[in-house]
Amino acid sequence: MLSPAPSSSSLLWALVPCAGMGQRAGGDGPKQYQPIAGQPMVCHTIAALAGVRRLAGGLLVVAPGDDFFDRLPPVDARFTVAARGGLTRAETVSNGLHALAARGASADDWVLVHDAARCLVTAERVDALIDACLGDPVGGLLAQPLADTLKAADGDRVESTLDRRDRWLAQTPQMFRIGLLAEALASAGHAVTDESSAVEALGHRPRLVPGGAENFKVTWPADFALAAAVLAARTNK
């Protein structure tokens, strides 16, 4: 698709895959559109990314026929929508990279891929990721060192206890050059569950940047109440 040619004038873009159904969250319709603290979850996500002034723009990749954003006032004029969602996250991201290229993004530009369901990310955390990765030859991701004891299961029984040393929970955004990420996803196929995995499969070692416990992915029904409580606490500070 694109061939990287490093440049000091590279731009920064956000890409939010927004085509999933989030069936584990319950509720009616895609979880990213379900309300948290009075707004659709994804609006909190966009608002956090909109606080990152260094972003040249952002792209929300939705499923074909999804008109959700047509019914909302724009959160930030830099963010646009592309109905290019695929059957998997990787396919949606890959399609989104092509859409960014059609909008003028170059292979050497950076893309920050962020989960719509990580609505508690802060602009400060995203800026820390950018600061850590702008001079990196590969890129990197927000992640959280594993604090809990880790178990492997056999059905509903413990099979073994795993060593948690040097184990991190991957978060987003994940920040890579557009050209590198497009190549990695094309090579890895649509089964990979995050962008870093695809880049790792090419033999690269992405940088781990601490992301914080609040940057969790809203996945289960109980997570909605927790996310609402965090947002309320921030509002009342």
Neighbour-count burial for 197-207, b at 16+ CB within 10 Å, e otherwise: bbbbeeeeebb
* Domain ranges, ordered by start, for the chain: 12-141+170-235
Q: At the top level of CATH, which class does the domain 12-141+170-235 belong to?
A: alpha beta
Q: Which pLDDT score is estimated for 8?
A: 55
- Supply φ then ψ for residue 10, to 5 degrees: -60, 140
pTM value is 0.91
Dist CA 100 CA 102 (whole Å):
5
What is the 8-class DSSP label of residue 25?
Answer: G
33 vs 41: CA distance, rounded Å: 6
For CA atoms 115, 120, 123, 127, the dihedral sign is negative
Give dist(CA 164, CA 162) in Å, integer. 6
Q: How many CA atoms lie within 13 A of 142 on its CB side?
A: 27
What CA–CA distances, in Å, run from 120 to 13, 116, 231, 234?
Answer: 19, 10, 7, 10
Confidence (pLDDT) at 119: 97
Task: Round to whole Å and give the CA distance between 104 and 182.
Answer: 15
Q: State pLDDT tens for residues 94-125.
A: 999 999 999 999 999 999 999 999 999 999 99
Q: Which residues of the chain have pLDDT under 50?
A: 1-6, 22-26
pLDDT of residue 21: 63
Instruction: Please report how many Cα atoms fall inside a 13 Å half-sphere around the Cα of residue 163, on the Cβ side.
Output: 2
Model pLDDT, residue 86: 95
Cα separation, 158 vs 165, in Å, equals 19
Quote the tokens at residue 165: 């040393």
